[in-house]
Amino acid sequence: MIYLLEDDDSIRDLVIYTLTAQGMEARGFPTPGAFWKAVAQEVPTLVLLDIMLPEEDGLSVLKKLRAGAETARLPVILLTAKSTEYDKVLGLDGGADDYVSKPFGMMELLSRIRALLRRTAESRDEVLEHGGLRVVPDKHVVEADGQPVALTQKEFELLCLLLRSPGKVFSREQLIEQVWGYAFTGETRTVDVHVRTLRQKLGAAGECVETVRGYGYKIGE
């Protein structure tokens, strides 16, 4: 079941119609109040979330989803007319899995939904281990030398990406596109800051995140 929280009736009706026509179960809600009532009755498999909403904005809704035990790992795609890099970073760092700017094509949206559902399915029961690190993506569990570590959403996604391909060097541009979900625009400081805080939180185990000077990062083989 896919939930769409969108206050624009025409967009909501079009998206729900398209998803249904593609064989997906979908429900639309015009307000956060109606959305939360539905979530209390049935947790969906994915949420399409507008940012500009009545009652409370989409980022507030996202924060509450990530704080809930049953919805913390719920896949979320933001739908919004805001398209600046700052807005993208704000939403993605807040825990969104992907970002689609309005106006968007339905084929693109369908592709993003299918890709996210596929990634979510692949992460179930997966355990990533390297040296003193142990990560269970589906449960959002991170352990360094046997001790639990609390990471932000983007730190977690960055670590998982690197751990899934030990020895592979990822450029900063690739990390921006694959973890933050938007095209590289020339700013790489975001990646460096996240890597630095990730290493600090992992302690001695963080040494496995290696810098490839002038290019990017990798997990040592």
Asked if pLDDT for residue 179 goes beyond 90, the answer is: no
Which residues in the chain are classed under CATH 1.10.10.10? 128-219
What is the predicted pLDDT for the residue at 176?
84
Tokens of 28: 């639309």
Mean pLDDT of the chain: 87
Which residues in the chain are classed under CATH 3.40.50.2300? 2-123
Mean pLDDT, residues 141-149 taken together: 92
What is the predicted pLDDT for the residue at 77?
93
Assess if CATH 3.30.420.40 describes domain 2-123. no
High-pLDDT (> 90) share of the chain, %:
48
Asked if pLDDT for residue 150 goes beyond 70, the answer is: yes
Q: Which CATH class is domain 128-219?
A: mainly alpha
